[in-house]
Amino acid sequence: MRFLAVLFLLAAIPASAQTLRVGIASDPDVLDPTLSRSVAGRQVFAAMCDKLLEIDEQGALVPQLATAWEWQEGGRALLLTLRPGLRFHDGEALDAAAAVFGLNRHLTAPGSTRRGEMGPVSAVEVAGPLALRIRLSEPFAPLLAALADRAGMLVSPRTPPEAQQAPACAGPFRLTRRVAQDRIELERFSEYWNPGAIHFERVIYRPIPDTTVRAANLRAGGLEVIERVATSDLDTLAADRRVRVLEGPSLAVHYIAINIANGERANTPLGRDARVRAALEAAIDREVLNRVAFEGRYRTANQATPPGHPHHIAAIATPGRDLARARALLREAGLERLRIRLSVPGISEYTQAAEVIQAMAAEAGITIEIQVVETATLLRQWTAGDFEALVIQWSGRTDVDQNLWSFNACGESLNGGRYCSAEADLALREGRTSTDTPTRLAAYARAMEVLLRDRPYIYLWHPRSFFAVRAPLEGLRLIPDGLIRVQGLRMRG
């Protein structure tokens, strides 16, 4: 069956020296930066939607649509200067007025998942033809990092509300066609501000959840680049002279998210009782999980930020496995055995990890029923509360606030389990409103103590970013967010 899938994919992809074909791990949810919440969407946005700011290989902020920025009024205002001559894909000029529209859209659009990332913004105003000012009710240190991601992606004021599947952005490529679960086709935008960095006429994204099928397509010449190479495929790819493997740092974390209070499906022992969640965690050996599922190439996780991240809290120890404690916690909660329905994206590394966790949990008297769900569907279920527990990745951000606030603060847009703690909120709010780094780190350490006690999430592993490219492709930059930048990519010869 896997061999037939490879043949089908290769037959369906047209070959062209002018076309960059990218294998991604899943189909994006919605191609609207205001509403999107999938990693796959961010991969496509990397070609469609430039941001106000960009990050470089070290995670530092650098210009993109904005060429300069300046904090004013004691951190309660941010002045941004736009690059001249910018245009959206529909031909509309991207000036200060258009940028104000785009940022206000993030703040006011129904269902926006950017609103929480932008923090206490009180107003966005034109400060000149190419200058805009974002006003804040209080200082908000993570704002610049947010503007280096989807909150910094702007869409044209001419984009109607019903065009959420294909808003006009200001990136190097514009959307021409999307076939769900099959392909996303982009063509080069002739009025892009940095044409010298673009060396392809078209980009085609192919969602291929099976990592080995993605790798086989690359080796056969059906793709130019693939993301998220499975650790089990690394040796095979490294031995193939037709391709090259590239390894870079990652900001990502994988975890189990638990439905604490979002609808009827939260009414389970796992959702109601923190002792049951503690029992599940005590049944998991993260080191063994890493060795068995990922050949020891990843790192165990005990918090949202990986080691080496400037906001990683080194004092928080990763708990080991303790089967006796797991069984005792279940008995303390009045349970001899426990059944959990665990939703998992239909991506190879998730299903492999879930099976390892399933076997570990069984030794503690916990039966895990694995339900494989397409990624975009799983994200919708997470938001709607149609899950008991699920395994998912957060691709990570350069500021820890973006890894914690929207997922844990009461009532926030990405808090699908509806966890709510006044104690955690107080610490998280202090961390995001202070501009002093030691104060912020202390606040986030207090927040993590609460979150690790209540366990709305059980952090499992931090991946490395593994990409593979056809040997002639050069120019892939290894940015810690794991996104494939099309700027600078070209075929040698």
- C-alpha to C-alpha distance for 94 and 385, rounded to whole angstroms: 38
Same domain, 477 and 382: no
DSSP notation for 116-159? GGG-SEEEEEEEETTEEEEEESS--TTHHHHTTTGGGB---TT-
Hey, what are 177's tokens? 């066609």
Burial (0-12, 13-18, 19+ Cβ within 10 Å), 246: middle
- Same domain, yes or no: 237 and 281: no
Query: Is this prediction's pTM over 0.85?
Result: yes
Query: If pLDDT is split at 50, 70 and 90, which confidence band does 207 have?
Result: very high
Rounded (5°) CA angle 181-177-163: 100
Rounded Cα distance between 434 and 316, Å, is 22
Output the pLDDT for position 164.
62
19-24 β-sheet, strand order: 173-179, 183-188, 202-207, 19-24, 225-226, 465-470, 243-248
Give the CATH number of the domain where residue 29 resides: 3.40.190.10
DSSP characters for 165-213? TS----SSEEEEEEETTTEEEEEE-TT-S-GGG---SEEEEEE---HHH
Question: Is the pLDDT assigned to residue 10 strictly greater than 50?
Answer: no
Closest CA to 119 of 445, 437, 439, 433: 433
pLDDT in tens, 37-65: 899 999 999 999 999 999 999 999 999 99
- Compute the distance between CA of residue 397 and CA of residue 414 in angstroms, rounded to an integer: 15
Tell me, what's the pLDDT at 413? Answer: 84
211, 236 contact by CB (below 8 A): no
Q: 349 with 226, same domain?
A: no
Q: Does residue 309 lie within any of the structural domains?
A: yes
Q: Which amino acid is at 371?
A: Q
CATH number at 385 reads 3.10.105.10
Supply the DSSP string of 211-255, one letter for each residue: HHHHHHHHHTTS-SEESS--GGGHHHHHT-TTEEEEEE----EEE
Q: What is the residue whose two structure tokens read 């076997």?
A: 359
Question: Closest Cα to residue 332, out of 250, 413, 415, 273?
Answer: 273
Helix axes 348-362, 211-219, angle to 10 degrees: 150
Same domain (yes/no): 421, 440 = yes
**Is residue 165 situated within a structural domain?**
no
Please check whether residues 291 and 425 belong to one and the same domain: yes
Q: What is the pLDDT of residue 261?
A: 98
Give residue 163's pLDDT band: very low, low, confident or very high (50, 70, 90): low
pLDDT score recorded for residue 17: 67
Let me know if residue 166 belongs to a domain: no
Residues 381 and 472 both lie in one domain = no
Q: What CATH number did the domain enclosing 154 receive?
A: 3.90.76.10
Tokens of 457: 């999430």
Q: 412 and 317 share a domain? A: yes
pLDDT in tens, 120-152: 999 999 999 999 999 999 999 899 999 999 999
Task: Give per-residue burial for 287-320: e unless 16+ CB within 10 Å, then b.
Answer: eebbebbbeeebbbbbbbbbeebebbbeeeeebe
Question: Which pLDDT tens digit goes with each residue over 251-280?
Answer: 999 999 999 999 999 999 999 999 999 999
Identify whether residues 402 and 474 lie together within a single domain: no
Q: State the angle between helix axes of 211-219 and 2-12 in degrees (0 to 180), rounded to the nearest 10.
A: 50
Among 160, 191, 219, the domain boundary falls at 160
What does the pLDDT read at residue 166? 76
More confident residue, 390 or 16: 390
Query: In this structure, what DSSP letter does residue 87 have?
Result: B
* pLDDT given at position 120: 95
DSSP letters, 313-332, are: -TTSPPP---HHHHHHHHHH
In a domain, residue 403? The reply is yes
376-409, pLDDT tens digit by residue? 899 999 999 999 999 999 999 999 999 999 999 9
Query: Domain boundary residue among 160, 195, 230?
Result: 160
pLDDT in tens, 169-206: 999 999 999 999 999 999 999 999 999 999 999 999 99
User: Is the same domain home to 258 and 358?
Assistant: yes
Last residue of a domain, one of 134, 160, 186: 160
Q: Is the pLDDT of residue 375 over 80?
A: yes
Report yes or no: 27 and 207 within 8 Å, Cβ to Cβ: yes
Question: Residue 486 domain-assigned?
Answer: yes
The range of the structural domain enclosing residue 123 comes to 53-160
Q: Are residues 175 and 276 in the same domain?
A: no
Q: What is the 8-class DSSP label of residue 308? A: T
Regarding whether 444 and 298 lie in a shared domain, the answer is yes
Count of domains forming the chain: 3
pLDDT on residue 167? 84
| Mean pLDDT for the stretch of residues 347-369 | 96
pLDDT of the residue at 16: 58
Same structural domain, 192 and 135 = no
For residue 69, what are the contacts with CB-CB under 8 A and spacing of at least 6?
Answer: 53, 78, 79, 80, 81, 144
Write the CA distances from 170 to 16, 82, 113, 134, 271, integer angstroms. Answer: 25, 12, 20, 20, 43
Is the per-residue pLDDT at 287 higher than 90? yes
Query: Does residue 295 register a pLDDT over 90?
Result: yes
Structure confidence at residue 161 (pLDDT): 65
